Amino acid sequence: MIEQPAPRSPTLEDVARVAGVSRSTVSRVINGVRNVDRELQETVRSAVAETGYVPNQAARSLVTKRTGSVALVVSEAEHRTFDDPFLGRVFTDPFFGRLVSGIFGELRPRRVNLMLMLTETDEARNQLVDYLRQGHVDGVMIISTHADDPLPRLLTESGLPAVLSRRPSRPMPISYVDADQQAGAALAAECLAARGCKRVATISGPMDMPASRERLDGFREAMARHGHAFIPSAEGNFTQESGERAVAELLAQYPDIDGLFAANDLMAQGALLALHDRGIAVPGRVAVVGFDDSSAAKACRPPLTTVHQPIEDMAAEMARLLLAHIEDRQLRATARIFEPTLVVRGSA
């Protein structure tokens, strides 16, 4: 047996030699350019099969300046607290899974790949921008939760195609997708008002997140329209545990609450649990409305009446927008706002 030659993987050149044509012809066949003779196409194809050729992505990117990948960046504030032990709490929220699903639905058919990135510190954010500028990806979707997150601006300035998962805190030329948070919260208010609730309270999300503020404002405004001047609130952090805690606080101050709006389903679930532990009937004594219509909503007793956000659709739209920006670098910033709807189940 003779020593094998180095197991170098086949290149275009190798295929060309086997097919008896030039490198460019092989390249044309592979990239589906029409101007190639039928017969030659076949010859080339079998040469490809014979050699087991696959194109080298690095070489290709080097000349096309395209990678065929986009990034999904989850940008969080750096806050590791007692109830927030590990990095990337987002990942464990059912919200995230739906988001990824929606994105994949759009990306996969186009054979675009997804890079998942997480930044929690300013240092990481700066590194990230550098990294992205190295041309690892063609564009970025940013899931940014905090109002003062510098990342949207950094990326806008970098000139890389980017789409944001919410309205930017300050006006900037970046495309984004969002749900009408205020309208959604108003839906919850209408529901509670329609039931005749008189003493309504709310569990808000962290006040440094725009979505939390908007839901709180939207809820209060809508309740005000129904004559409720004051709506007490307790702040949670979108986890189930924080929902339990918040209810405890609220009940301590206002024991006769008869309606409750939680800014997401996980907290609403926590609220339901806490209410149940205290023997308070839902919706009999307290009606509860959540937000998100996540999987948690159906896992509750009673099942949660909640505000539905079309997360998958929003995520898909985010992906489409990004792809459009990559295709046309001149495309101007666009906003897509989705309307939430109320899903009535058992809790209100």
Partner DNA sequence: ATGAAAGCGCTAACAG
Partner DNA sequence: CTGTTAGCGCTTTCAT
Instruction: Return the one option of its own copies, DNA, none that residue 67 interacts with (CB less than 5 to 8 A, by type).
Output: its own copies
> Which parts of this chain interact with its own copies (CB under 8 A)?
9, 54-59, 61-62, 65, 67, 69, 72, 86-88, 90-94, 96-98, 100-101, 104-105, 108, 111, 113-118, 124, 127, 130-131, 133-136, 240-241, 269-270, 273, 276-277, 295-296, 298-299, 301, 312
> CB 312 → DNA: shortest distance, Å?
33
Residue pair 304/297 in contact (Cβ under 8 Å)? The answer is: yes
For residue 177, which of 292, 322, 70, 294 has the smallest C-alpha distance?
Answer: 322
R_g (Cα) of the chain, nearest Å: 26
Half-sphere exposure at residue 182, Cβ-oriented, CA atoms within 13 angstroms = 8
Q: Which amino acid is at 53?
A: Y
Q: Which two tokens stand for residue 128?
A: 């990230």
Cα separation, 188 vs 305, in Å, equals: 9
**Under the criterion CB under 7 A, does residue 36 sit at the interface with DNA?**
yes
> CB 302 → its own copies: shortest distance, Å?
10
In the bound state with its own copies, the residue whose beta carbon lies nearer, of 191 and 315, is: 315
Cα separation, 5 vs 153, in Å, equals: 52
> CB 337 → DNA: shortest distance, Å?
36
Pick the binder of DNA from 46, 52, 59, 339 (CB under 7 A). 59
DSSP 8-class letter at 108:
G
Grouping H, G, I as helix, E, B as strand and the rest as coil, residue 62 is helix
Q: Is 227 left (phi over 0), alpha (psi -120 to 50) or beta?
A: left
**Under the criterion CB under 7 A, does residue 53 sit at the interface with DNA?**
yes
Return the ∠ at Cα 116 (arms to 114 and 119), rounded to 5°: 150
In the bound state with DNA, the residue whose beta carbon lies nearer, of 62 and 299, is: 62
Instruction: Return the one option of its own copies, DNA, none that residue 23 interacts with (CB less than 5 to 8 A, by type).
Output: DNA
For residue 184, which of 10, 25, 339 has the smallest C-alpha distance?
Answer: 339
> CB 154 → DNA: shortest distance, Å?
21
Instruction: Return the one option of its own copies, DNA, none that residue 98 interacts with (CB less than 5 to 8 A, by type).
Output: its own copies
> CB 48 → its own copies: shortest distance, Å?
11
In the bound state with its own copies, the residue whose beta carbon lies nearer, of 138 and 214, is: 138
In the bound state with its own copies, the residue whose beta carbon lies nearer, of 33 and 87, is: 87
CA distances from 291 to 68, 181, 218, 340 (A): 35, 10, 13, 9
Which range in 15-23, 183-191, 225-233, 310-318 contacts DNA by CB under 7 A?
15-23
Q: Which two tokens stand for residue 146?
A: 């905090």
**Under the criterion CB under 7 A, does residue 124 sit at the interface with DNA?**
no
**Under the criterion CB under 7 A, does residue 18 sit at the interface with DNA?**
no
Instruction: Return the one option of its own copies, DNA, none that residue 121 interacts with (CB less than 5 to 8 A, by type).
Output: none
φ and ψ at residue 69, rounded to 5 degrees: -130, 150
For residue 312, which of 144, 148, 105 has the smallest C-alpha distance?
Answer: 105
Instruction: Return the one option of its own copies, DNA, none that residue 21 interacts with (CB less than 5 to 8 A, by type).
Output: DNA
Contact residues: DNA, CB under 7 A = 8-9, 11-13, 21-25, 27-28, 30-31, 34-37, 40, 53, 55-56, 59-60, 62-64
